[in-house]
Structures are given as structure tokens and as C-alpha cells.
Structure 1
């Protein structure tokens, strides 16, 4: 038994190492920044990373922009799904295709939006070493060709560049889902009637509707949030301030739960005007997500809608941007009434008290009790460190625990 345990340990390490991250792979080459960004915005990056065998046909920025710039995010998602093959292909396999041609199923086929072979790709080894790609739908042309290899982890993931987008019939004609979504009605039904009324009366619903085509996320405070203690009286704000407050509850990008959990940067809102103004940050604790403004924080309570390119969440608190509601320092306590000291009797020189002996000097490096601290206490540092460490405990911690457990088992089995 003991002699096979090292093999099991190596197998575990190999299985863990085989995991891939398409975002990290593409981040190494700025020519694919647009493609990489769209994979994250549409949530396709997460789907790619959960697949054990997959091929990504990537487009450089110039090749992708010609199509992506003209269509809403929902259409871009379908288009990119057609470039994700549910099989492993590399340079060698492309030139060893039986009979010189094959059809490969794509991620688009799994969406249920593709009929017949519309969700498959035709791969053909052409003469002169050239490999062509096109839609598998009858009558489609091989308008794209293999350019170069980007990254391979056999036989887990392969990333290859192709020259032009693969277009299947009808894939660019789908209307954006947001065109049929009544944002106000959805928010009201979820118990956020006050917020729905405010965005309607202040003209924000039109902005939300037009922005949704390219990606929109809304954080709608529920009705109880507006009744909470500390929420400012909106009637005392200017119209511009109310609009900024409402815009602060939306981001001009599609942020599904998976993206919120993995985001490390600040989230720009519709109120953001650069220089880190009107931004949000998010923290994760298990399955719980919390938004932070710098003045207050709010838990994301419920997903109202998640349909590319639109996400709507209800939140427990009104999000207060520091640009409008920065907390001022607590005022110092008012001084008590001043009482005039009673006159002390005048002493004669003979009655003067003898001076007290001088106090010994304080030891070097010590701070007198009651003096203000110049740096956080060690307890505060431990508290801060704990918060930071908790955010990053992921796969590496799981691997460490597994390795320790197996190592202990090896030692135990050896001495049995």
C-alpha cells in the first residue's frame, strides 16, 4: 500500500497543475486584449476554465473590432462561442485530419440557439499547408485560416490564432435581449419600488435601457434600504446630486456573479468621472458579495436578472458615494463650564514648600502611557492582515491541505 501512495500524490499534483486559466493565457499578449476582455464580460472565460478539453480560436484586436464594435454584447457572446471548440486541436492535429476535413462542435451549439450545423465549425486542411475554418452550415465558405499557435497544454487546452471571424448564418442578426426587458417592472417586482420610481422620474431609465445593449449591471436598493437610519433626505439634494446618486447604482458593463467574485479592480459606475471618482469595490466571503463605497457597504441580497448583457441585483443598503456623502471627522467634545479658581493664600518665603525630587527619565524607546500612537497597534495589524489573507485563499490552500493529508498518510502507512 505504501509504495503506491507517492504515485497518488504525484497524480493529484498533476491533476491540479493541468487546470487552465484562459484570462492569464491571453493576458500575456496585448494583441488579444479585446478578445480577452469580451470573454470576461460575457462570462465565457469561466465556462472555458471549467472545461477539461477545449480549443479557443482567438482573434487579434484588429480582426475582432470590425465585428464587435457594431453589435451588442449578447451578439458578441454568441459569436465568440462559435470560436470555442469542444475538442483539442493543435498544429499537428490540424494537418492530420482524416480525409482532410472534419466538423467540430462549439460552445455555441450548447446554448440551444443553433439549429442543425449552425453551431459547428468546418475545419479543412487545404493544399500548401494552409488550414481553413468556416461555418458548418451548408453553403458556407472557409473565410478564415490558421495563423499561428498561441498556447497548448496537451490535451487540456489549445489556443490558436485565426485570421478572421467565423460567421454562421443568422448569428449576427439576433436582437439584444435588453430590448424586450422591462427594467422598471423587474425592479418593482423584486421589492425595489422606491428605486424604480426614482430612476423613472429622473430620466435614468432611458439611460439604463440604451446602455444595456453593450452591457449593464444595476444594484437596486430595496424599499427598506431607503427607510434605514443614516440615509440622507433626498429632497435636500440638488437634481444633479440625485442623478449622480442613482447613476452610482449602475455600471456600464455586464457583471454576472462569477465576474463580481473574481474582480480585483474598482468598478466604475455610470457616475464615474475618472481619477477614481464614484467607484465601487467588492469583497467576497464564501458565497456572499459585499459592495463598498468608502462611506458605507451593502450586501448583494438577490439576483433579479442575469441575462447577457444585463445583470440586475437587489442590495440591502443605499450606496452612498464619498464624493457626495463623505463622513466628516467627529466634532471634539464641547468644553465644560470654566470655573474661576479660588485664590490661594500668599505664602511667605519661610512657608514655601520644598521642591519635589525630579522624576527619573523614561527608558529609551518607551512611550508614556496615554500618549497618542503613531502607528496601528499590533492587534489592529493582525486584524487587517486577517482580512487581506482571507480573500486570497483558493485553490492553493486546497492543494496544500491535500498534500499534507497524503504526506501524513504516506508516513503512517510506511511505519505500519
Structure 2
């Protein structure tokens, strides 16, 4: 049963991999969108696109993308491009068959939580005569952008279509996004319910480390106040100042990694605490839209996004992240059994099951324990010997039968999947 389950999981993974898409690789084949492709990578929107099963990209050619990028900083460009990522599938055929001639589609910008009302939605209208218009879903917004051509599609997974010019939603380009240096890290954390964490990073001076790193790229995982009250959190007052600093630096990564990037992360990621003496890394696992960080001692769900402003990203996490380098030794009584597995003591510790009674070692029942091994050589004269041999044979037969059935069924299943 276990082998069959592993086979089914393997097949499911293979199918998932075959359905996966990579927007960077797709656009690499079209040099006229190289600048658009570059900004998708710089803003990490490419990672978010690759985690979506159904999506449409409204691509801008190099001329239109250059005009947009020349006037605005990277955080604003990210907001604008998020409006060009539709969370639905539209190819050329579907665009010209819109029911009632008009529809509204949610974009990636709407999912950020920074899009009030329906400012993060796009209006798509069939203008007849082969033209399809795109514009903000805000009432009264013009349909300035039109469908140009179909670039690439993998029905009904991903579609890339070119539009004539950027879609502009009210306030998206006029309100400049704050830079990393403008963000009040402590203020944002306190507002998010992480006051305990704030007091620790201020007291230890780690806040300055965060602020310096934020200029080039920083992702912060801040435990909530409730996380510090959990029963399994060690007494942090017993840590040395250096250990406490390492613990706090362990909650940060020296790169801009929004949730979409974390979802696509497969290798362990280094933290600010990583040094030559210890890995201090984090492993990431994803289930649906949930992202979990694993330390080797405990794990925590990435709960909410506090700040996502390139190159700074701040998340709250449900639990305090405990690195194995600091806390991995105490909860591990496992090394104790290792000396017991030495050649001499192990048989003595496991062989005499009635070891609680010392007399039983010298008592007459000791010889019969050898008799089953010698019974095949002699005739089964005693009733106890017969019952012993039968008890040994009876469970073996069903086990062998079950093993044979599983082997045959496994072979059939494997044949079916391979065919």
C-alpha cells in the first residue's frame, strides 16, 4: 500500500511539473518584450505569476515599457505592472466572445490589499470590428489600451497577449510608493501587533542592522505578540546578548522576497544570522496559498504581509523561529540510545525479555528458547514444541500472501501508469 501511494504521489508531481509555466522562459523567446520581462523579474512579479495556475499577462513592447519605466521608481512600476496580470484566462478567441460585450477581471494588484474598492480590476470590452479595449474598472475610466496580438498561450493555464499601451488606474502612478528608507519599520511592526519583537530589536541594536540591509533588500519575519506567549517558547532571558542578536537576525533575509518568491523557493535560504560557525538557514514549504518556514526545531506559517515595497518586505509569522544552532540541542534526547547499540551490550539488553526477574535467567525456561532453533533437527516430540512451530508458521503464511498480492497489484498499477 505504501509503495502504491508513493507511486501515485510521484505521478501527481510529474503531472504538476508538466503543467507548470515559467513566464521568464516564455518571454525570453520574444526579444520585443525583453524590458517588460526584465521588470517582471526585478519586481518579483514573475515569481508570483509562476505560482498561479490560471493567469493572463498583458505584455507591453519595449517602447511602451521604456516610457513607463523612465518616469517612475521601481515600487510604482510594480504596482502598474500588477494591473497587467489578470487572474483569469483570456486568449484571442475568448476576448472576441465576451458575453454582453464587456467583463471585469481581477488583477494581481487587487490581491495586495493596497487597492481600495475595485481599483485593482480591469475592464475588458469588445469594441467590435476586431478591436478589444482595456481600461480601469473604475466607472468613467477610458479604454485607452487595445488588444494587439496573441503572443503565447497554454490553454487554459497561461496566456500572454500584447496590448497597445499601459493600463492606468487612478492614483496608481501619481501616488509615489515609499522607498525602503522611508518605511518606519518599528511603526509598521507595532501596528501589526509585534510590539514585543520591536522592543527586542531596539534594545539589542538589531533594528539598525535591518535598516542598513533594507537599502539593498530585506525580508523580515516578525513574530506576533501572541507568538512570544506560547508555552513552547524558551526563556529568552537566559540567552546571552550575542545569542539574542543571532535569534533576531535569524528572522530576516538579506533579499527582497515577497510571498510569490517564497512560494517558488526550493533551496534553504540564508538569514542575516548565517555565518561561518552555523548555517542559521530556513526551509520553505508551500501548501496552496500558505507558506511555512521550517527551522529544524519548529515551524511557522507566514501569516500576513505588513509591507511590500521593493526592496523591503515585512511579514508577520505565527511562531517564534527557533534556529537549531541555538535550540536544537536541548530537545534532543535521541543521542542517548546510540551507545546502547554497541555490539556487546545490545543483545544482552534486548535478548532477556524477562530481565526484571534475575532468577529467570538461570531457570529451566532458558533451554526451550534454543529448542525452536534446534527443533528442525529433531522430531517434534513435545506439545509445546508443536505449538511453537505452528505459531511461527501461521503468521508467516498470510504475510507472504499479502506481500504477493501487493507485489502483483503494484506491478499492474505501475504498468497502467507507464502505459
Name which of 160, 181, 188 aligns with 2:183.
181
Change (3 A) 1:256 1:112: closer
If the length of structure 2 is used for normalisation, what is the TM-score?
A: 0.50
Note if 1:289 corresponds to 2:287: no
Task: Determine the structure 2 residue equivalent to 1:344.
Answer: none
If the length of structure 1 is used for normalisation, what is the TM-score?
A: 0.50
Task: Determine the structure 1 residue equivalent to 2:256.
Answer: 254
Q: Give ranges in structure 1 of 5+ residues lacking alignment.
A: 1-5, 200-204, 229-248, 264-282, 317-405
Matches within 5 A, 1:308-319: 308-309=309-310, 310-311=312-313
Change (3 A) 1:408 1:183: same
Change (3 A) 1:144 1:195: same
Distance 2:122 2:245 in 1: 55
Matches within 5 A, 1:59-70: 59-70=60-71
Q: Give yes or no for contact 2:23–2:46 (8 Å, CA) kept in 1.
A: yes
Name the SS of the counterpart of 1:38 in structure 2: helix
Change (3 A) 1:54 1:296: same
Task: Determine the structure 2 residue equivalent to 1:95.
Answer: 96
Q: Give yes or no for contact 2:48–2:261 (8 Å, CA) kept in 1.
A: no
Q: Give yes or no for contact 1:131–1:146 (8 Å, CA) kept in 2.
A: yes
Q: Give yes or no for contact 1:298–1:315 (8 Å, CA) kept in 2.
A: no
Q: Give yes or no for contact 2:125–2:134 (8 Å, CA) kept in 1.
A: yes
Matches within 5 A, 1:245-394: 254-256=256-258, 259=261, 284-285=267-268, 288-289=269-270, 299-300=280-281, 307-309=308-310, 310-311=312-313
Q: CA deviation at 1:89?
A: 0.7
Change (3 A) 1:12 1:103: same
Task: Determine the structure 2 residue equivalent to 1:224.
Answer: 242
Q: Give yes or no for contact 2:219–2:256 (8 Å, CA) kept in 1.
A: no
Q: CA deviation at 1:9?
A: 9.6
Change (3 A) 1:96 1:226: closer
Q: After superposition, give the CA deviation of every residue in 1:319-356 in whole Å (9 maximum; x if it has no partner).
A: xxxxxxxxxxxxxxxxxxxxxxxxxxxxxxxxxxxxxx
Task: Determine the structure 1 residue equivalent to 2:75.
Answer: 74
Task: Determine the structure 2 residue equivalent to 1:275.
Answer: none
Q: Higher helix share goes to which structure?
A: 2
Distance 2:263 2:42 in 1: 13
Q: After superposition, give the CA deviation of every residue in 1:102-147 in whole Å (9 maximum; x if it has no partner).
A: 2222222223333343222121222431222111211211111112
Distance 2:147 2:135 in 1: 11
Q: Give yes or no for contact 2:146–2:164 (8 Å, CA) kept in 1.
A: yes
Task: Determine the structure 1 residue equivalent to 2:157.
Answer: 156
Name the SS of the counterpart of 1:126 in structure 2: strand
Task: Determine the structure 1 residue equivalent to 2:140.
Answer: 139
Distance 1:197 1:114 in 2: 31
Name the SS of the counterpart of 1:31 in structure 2: helix
Note if 1:410 corresponds to 2:393: no
Change (3 A) 1:77 1:227: closer
**How many residues matched?**
267
Q: Give yes or no for contact 1:300–1:315 (8 Å, CA) kept in 2.
A: no
Task: Determine the structure 2 residue equivalent to 1:28.
Answer: 29
Q: Give yes or no for contact 1:195–1:223 (8 Å, CA) kept in 2.
A: no
After superposition, the CA RMSD in angstroms is: 4.7
Q: Give yes or no for contact 1:134–1:140 (8 Å, CA) kept in 2.
A: yes
Change (3 A) 1:306 1:27: farther
Q: Give yes or no for contact 1:54–1:86 (8 Å, CA) kept in 2.
A: yes
Q: Give ranges in structure 2 of 5+ residues lacking alignment.
A: 1-6, 190-196, 221-239, 247-251, 283-292, 294-301, 316-320, 324-408
Distance 2:80 2:48 in 1: 15
